[in-house]
Amino acid sequence: MRLLLVEDEDRLADILAEGLRHKGYAVDTINDGTKAYTRISLHRNDYDLVILDLMLPGMSGLDICRQMRAEGITIPILVLTARNEEEQKVNLLLAGADDYLVKPFSFEELAARIQAILRRPIESVSTVLRVLDIELDPAEHTVNRDGVPLTLTLKEFGLLEYFLRHPNEVINREDLIVHLWDFNYESFSNVVDVHIKNLRRKLDMGSKPSILETVRGIGYRLRA
Ligand code: CA
């Protein structure tokens, strides 16, 4: 999951980005409203969520929100607002924000809101992803195969979550890079293949053929 954090308080942005990376998200940060809007507009398919401060240099968070929705950009938006801006909350929701959080907030609260927004498109009765005998719980950060718990690294977990949300689809390496790594990622390295290889080894538990297929010259597919 790749997030864009738009926040002009650099220290706060650094702390939040660092914490979110520890939770396994890829995070890009931008501290200017106009630049943020340009980035969103040019890379609308790269992000799974935008976290948006309201008071920004350049374009305001509210205007970014309105403009995104007016252009048909459907990325979920979580707004960060200061206490004295709280009366704007109706405007925010009308402008197309999915949720908002009033500063100061705890990091855990932010993480919980993000998780709630990201799992919204999935069936609301169950937040656990189930494909074949694999069960992944994004909230608890646990994975089982045939009832046996697997120990995955953050990146392996992120990759598996992505595959489980797109079963039987051929997913190319660029898609994985875009959704799981931030813009400091060195795209010439073979890091994706290494993580896939490790994930496959843990996931297959010795059985063949692998559930995670290589589609030659294109990418990978989780066969369900
Ligand atoms: Ca601000």
Q: Could you report the per-residue pLDDT of 107-123, keeping only the tens digit for each? A: 999 999 998 888 765 44
Give residue 149's pLDDT: 94
Entry pTM: 0.64
| 3-state DSSP assignment of residue 115 | helix
d(CA 101, ligand 1 centre) in Å: 13
What's the CA gap between 154 and 19, in Å, rounded? 13
d(CA 80, ligand 1 centre) in Å: 9
**Domains, the chain, with CATH or none:** 2-119 (3.40.50.2300), 129-222 (1.10.10.10)
d(CA 105, ligand 1 centre) in Å: 14
d(CA 52, ligand 1 centre) in Å: 9
16-75: per-residue pLDDT in tens? Answer: 999 999 998 999 999 999 999 999 999 998 899 999 999 999 999 999 999 998 888 889
Q: Output the furthest CA–CA distance in the chain (Å, rounded).
A: 59
What's the CA gap between 129 and 167, in Å, rounded? 11
